Each structure stands twice: as C-alpha cells, then as structure tokens.
Structure 1
C-alpha cells in the first residue's frame, strides 16, 4: 500500500509540471527571433555568487551573411571587443520555486545595445526563452535558445 502511494506521489510530481530545473549551465544554440536561423553558440556558467553568465563560444555562419568580428557599436567596456568570446549575458538570478531567472543584462553585439534580461527554462530543461527589454518587459523581444549538451 505504501509503495503504491509513493509511486503515485512521485508520478504526480514528475508529470504535473511542478518540477523546477534550477540550473541553466551548459551549451546553448541561440536562435534568431527574426529569421529563425541559428546565430551563435553560448556557454552559460553559474558563478560563485549564484548568478549566471553567458559567453559566445562560436558564431554560427549563415548563408549570405558575413559575421561581424567585433562589437563596434557597443558601449564601453565592450567597444571594439571581439564578438567571439564576448560575455553577452550577466547577472541572471534564479527565482526560487520557479523556472525563471531574472535581474540579468544582455548585450546585442550586432546592435550595440544592452538590455535588461530575464529567462524562462521550459519544463524539460531543453529550451530557454530569453527576454531582452528596456524598462518594461512587455516592450522587449524574445529569443529561444536550445540546449546542446
């Protein structure tokens, strides 16, 4: 009887969507929100202060597009930095009891702009939805990132 109750409880937790993945560390494929094409590969690491940072580890070439090598429109300290190796995501903090990460900053090295950022990890831990915005989240843009590892 107790075994059946334990199995039923475990099954309800696993299939209810209330299981929260708390770690977004890993390798992610960034998908362009305008074209749907792969843009770059990002490595996200958890820092000692329990925030997350993301760095471009590969720029994905697209047909008919020559990738820019440097962040020439970016504000200091990013001005003219190489895009490959650039830390584009900083300061994300996990929101307890959820799959949400907030209070981060993301830089768009092609536009040279820095945005507030928040992330939602889907239930199976395979996709991130990153929302970049200025001031109000409703006025921002979202990108999907797909876990590669």
Structure 2
C-alpha cells in the first residue's frame, strides 16, 4: 500500500472509531416509544450545555397528535407552553467512570409529572434507556436513536 493510501485508511478508521465512541452518549436525536401502543410518540433532541444535558421535544409523532397542543398539566414554568419545543429533560450529568447520566429530571408532559432521571446508552449507543423514578418506584423506556 502506498503512503497516501495508508494515510487515507488511518483517517477513515479514526473517523469510524470516533463516531462509535461519540454514540455512547445521550446527546443526539431520539425517538420515544409509547408504552401502551409500541408506536413512536415523539422525537426528542438531547443537547450538552457545559456537561449538563437537556432535552426538548422536536416533534410529536403520534398519528392523532395536535400540532398546537400545550402542556396543560405542567405545574412549573412549562405550564401552557407548546409541546413542540418543550424541555422535558433537565440537568442530567455524567456519573464518574460510567456511561450513565443522572441527577437530572424528566417531565411526562401528558401527566404533568416530574421524575428523577437516569439515562443509559445501550447497544453501542443505538438505544437509550430512559428511567424516571420517584424513590424506589419508576419505569424505564427504551428510546431509539434517529440516524
């Protein structure tokens, strides 16, 4: 192999390796799945702001979703804010030495309920376990990364 081909091959491997590593984070665009129907519910974008993760509903995906819906049941600063653009994840931080983000909160806008949050990338970052809990009680959803 020529020196040029080796450089191109090395660069390509670094890009592929970097992309795989970058996927083991909740940062990105995710499709949430409705627990009862198994259908896509919303597309959520999670962003990193100085090591703190926040997430917003980018679009609703339910067939019967009202594009003008607001968070009627919210009780904080999100009350009556449009669902599209609504911040549902706040303040998650990476746990030391683990591929887990916690310490934040997640909002269920349909119920207006706010829960302690844990985010865990799985399957090489293709999926995200999203756990909301109150004390020892909670539930985990699996979200799918949008490519």
TM class by smaller structure: 0.7 to 0.9
Q: Please name the residue that 1:7 is paired with.
A: none
Correspondence for 2:146 among 134, 140, 148: 148
Q: In structure 2, how many angstroms separate the alpha carbons of the residues matched to 1:96 and 1:35? A: 36
The aligned counterpart of 1:110 is: 110
**2:41 matches 1:39:** yes
**CA root-mean-square deviation:** 2.0
Deviations 1:51-95 (A, max 9, x none): 111000000022xx3447010011021111111000100111111
CA contact (8 A) 1:21 1:99 kept: no
Residue correspondence of structure 1 range 1-149 to structure 2 within 5 A = 22-48=24-50, 50-62=51-63, 65-67=64-66, 69-136=69-136, 139-149=137-147
Gap regions ≥5 residues in structure 1: 1-13
Q: Aligned-pair distance for 1:21?
A: 5.8
Kindly tell me the number of residue pairs found equivalent between the two proteins: 127
More helix per residue: 1 or 2?
2
SS in 1 for 2:124: coil
**Maintained 8 Å contact 2:42/2:60:** yes
Runs of 4+ in 1 over 4 A off after TM superposition: 19-22
Q: Taking structure 1 as reference, are residues 20 and 135 closer, same or farther at Cα in structure 2, changes over 3 Å only?
A: farther
Q: TM-score, normalised by structure 2?
A: 0.79
Deviations 1:92-114 (A, max 9, x none): 11113222111110011111111
Unaligned runs of 5+ in 2: 1-16
